[in-house]
Amino acid sequence: MTKQFIKEFNVDTSYLTKEELEALKKLVEAAELIADVYAIQLRDGFYPKGATRHEIEKAAAKNPAILSPYTVVERDKSGNLVAIPYHEKYKDLLIPVAKKLTEAAQIATSHNDFRKALLAQAKSLLEGNYDQAQIAWLKINPYILDIVIGPLERVEDNMFFVKRSYQAWVGMMDKNITDRINGLKEIVFSARRQVLPSEGVDFMDKTQLRADETIIMSGMIANYNYTATTLPNDIEILEKYGSEGWVFLPLVRKNFEDCQYPLFNLIFAPFFKNSFSQGQLLRGYQLLIAIHEIARIVVRYRFATDRLKELYPIFNEAAIEALAIKMAGTMLLKDVISQKEMEAVLVMFVTRMFDGYFEKMDQKSASEPLVQSNAIMLNSLISKGSLQLTKDGMSWPNFTKMYIAVAELADELEKILAEGTYKDAYNYMQKSSSLDVFQKFSKALKNLQRD
Distance CA 30, CA 119 (A): 13
Helix (H) or strand (E) holding 270: helix 270-273
**Separation between Cα atoms, residue 241 and residue 233, nearest integer Å:** 12
Per the CB < 8 A criterion, the answer to whether 332 and 339 are in contact is yes
How far apart are the C-alpha atoms of 434 and 335, rounded to whole Å? 38
What pLDDT is stored for residue 194 in this prediction?
A: 47
End-to-end CA distance of the chain, in Å?
17
Distance CA 94, CA 351 (A): 39
Peptide bond into 397 cis (omega under 30): no
Using DSSP, state whether 153 is helix, strand or coil: strand
Contact 226, 419 (CB under 8 A): no
184-189: long-range contacts at Cβ-Cβ below 8 A with a sequence spacing of 24 or more?
184/290, 184/291, 184/294, 184/331, 184/336, 185/209, 185/294, 185/297, 187/330, 187/331, 187/334, 187/336, 188/291, 188/294, 188/298, 188/327, 188/330, 188/331
| Whether the Cβ atoms of residue 428 and residue 375 lie closer than 8 Å to each other | no
* Amino acid 52: pLDDT: 96
Cβ-based neighbours of 223, under 8 Å, separated by 6 or more: 4, 5, 38, 42, 364, 366
What's the confidence (pLDDT) of residue 450? 43
* Overall residue count recorded for the chain in this entry: 451
CA dist 104 and 194 (Å) reads 44
Judged by DSSP in three states, 346 sits in helix
The bridge status of strand 81-85 relative to strand 165-173 is: unpaired
Question: pLDDT tens, position by position, for the chain (451 residues)?
Answer: 578 999 999 999 999 999 999 999 999 999 999 999 999 999 999 999 999 999 999 999 999 999 999 999 999 999 999 999 999 999 999 999 999 999 999 999 999 999 999 999 999 999 999 999 999 999 998 899 999 999 999 989 989 999 999 999 999 999 999 999 999 888 877 766 444 444 555 666 788 899 999 999 999 999 988 999 999 988 788 888 888 999 999 999 999 999 999 999 988 888 888 899 999 999 999 999 999 999 888 888 878 888 998 899 999 999 999 999 999 998 998 899 999 999 999 999 999 998 877 655 555 555 788 899 999 999 998 888 888 777 777 776 678 889 999 999 999 999 999 899 999 999 999 999 998 888 877 766 666 544 3
pLDDT of residue 362: 52
- The pLDDT of residue 149: 98
User: Phi, psi (5° rounding) for residue 90?
Assistant: -110, 25
pTM of the model: 0.88
CA 213-29-117 angle, to 5 degrees, is: 75
For residue 376, give the amino acid letter: I
Question: What pLDDT does 198 receive?
Answer: 47
Nearest to 94 by CA among 69, 75, 70: 70
